[in-house]
């Protein structure tokens, strides 16, 4: 079974630029998560989708971050404009149901904002 695919793996941008990350979850998984992992910290949930609807986006900085999951499959996470503190690894995960079903994580996108 194919895993969660993310691209790009690495991205370096200047502050105030925009960037987008893409995630393709495991086929058939209804739930999709985006996490932000800052160096030295655990992953922090940014947004959770159930099919193409948002379940939780309470920790998403909505003034600069946006995410969508069209047709309940692929998802994109966008940052515009980026700040230095956005430097982190952005992890995408998917699961069949809610978190009580195993979440499978992608390798992540490492973003460096300079």
Partner 1 sequence: AQSVTQPDIHITVSEGASLELRCNYSYGATPYLFWYVQSPGQGLQLLLKYFSGDTLVQGIKGFEAEFKRSQSSFNLRKPSVHWSDAAEYFCAVGANDYKLSFGAGTTVTVRA
Q: Which residues bind partner 1 (CB under 8 A)?
A: 3-4, 33, 40-45, 48, 55-56, 91, 93, 98-100, 102-108
Nearer to partner 1, 79 or 93 (CB): 93
Least CB distance to partner 1 at residue 39 (A): 11
Least CB distance to partner 1 at residue 98 (A): 5
Phi, psi of 4 (to 5 degrees): -75, 125
In DSSP terms, 104 is beta-bridged to: 94
Nearer to partner 1, 27 or 100 (CB): 100
Determine contact, residues 34/77, Cβ cutoff 8 Å: yes
Burial (CB count within 10 angstroms: exposed 0-12, middle 13-18, buried 19+), residue 49 = buried
């Amino acid at each position: 079974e194919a895993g969660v695919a993310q691209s790009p793996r690495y991205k370096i941008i200047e502050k105030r630029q925009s960037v987008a990350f893409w995630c393709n979850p495991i086929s058939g998984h209804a739930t999709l998560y985006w996490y932000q992992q800052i160096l030295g910290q655990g992953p922090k949930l940014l947004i959770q989708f159930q099919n193409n609807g948002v379940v939780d986006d309470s920790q998403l900085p909505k003034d600069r971050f946006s995410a969508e999951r069209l047709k309940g499959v692929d998802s994109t996470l966008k940052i515009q404009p980026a700040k230095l503190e956005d430097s982190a690894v952005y992890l995408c995960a998917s699961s069949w149901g809610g978190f009580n079903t195993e979440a499978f994580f992608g390798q992540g996108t490492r973003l460096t904002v300079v």
